[in-house]
Amino acid sequence: DAGVTQSPTHLIKTRGQQVTLRCSPKSGHDTVSWYQQALGQGPQFIFQYYEEEERQRGNFPDRFSGHQFPNYSSELNVNALLLGDSALYLCASSLVGQRTKETQYFGPGTRLLVL
């Protein structure tokens, strides 16, 4: 049973560039969430996708956008990169419908460094 996978594992970009991160959910899951984790902090919710639509969004600017495909995989796009976007980006998948019990399972993350 494959868990959540993310690619790439590491990425180095320069300010102003654009980046795309990818995520494949755990088998049987239909919902994908993205989190940003700055060094030494807890993860911060970016957004969640379900049925190919953005279901909920955290307090992140429009430079952060995403997409979910019919096979439930997802992409996170960040435009006009800033130094402050350097972080670990975590993808989590879940199966919708269990309200507060819905458990999110995380992938290994993508470490993004913006120079």
Does 92 engage in binding with other proteins (CB under 8 A)?
yes
Instruction: Among 55, 60, 67, 73, indicate the residue that binds other proteins (CB under 8 A).
Output: 55
Per CB under 8 A, the segment of 16-24, 44-52, 67-75, 76-84 that binds other proteins is 44-52
The reply to whether 74 sits near other proteins by the rule CB under 8 A is: no
Residue 98 zone, left/alpha/beta (φ > 0; ψ -120 to 50; rest): alpha
Distance CA 95, CA 35 (A): 17
- For other proteins, which residue of 7, 18, 56, 79 counts as binding (CB under 8 A)? 56
CB of 16 to other proteins, least distance (A): 26
Q: What is the dihedral of CA 8, 14, 20, 24, to 10 degrees?
A: 30
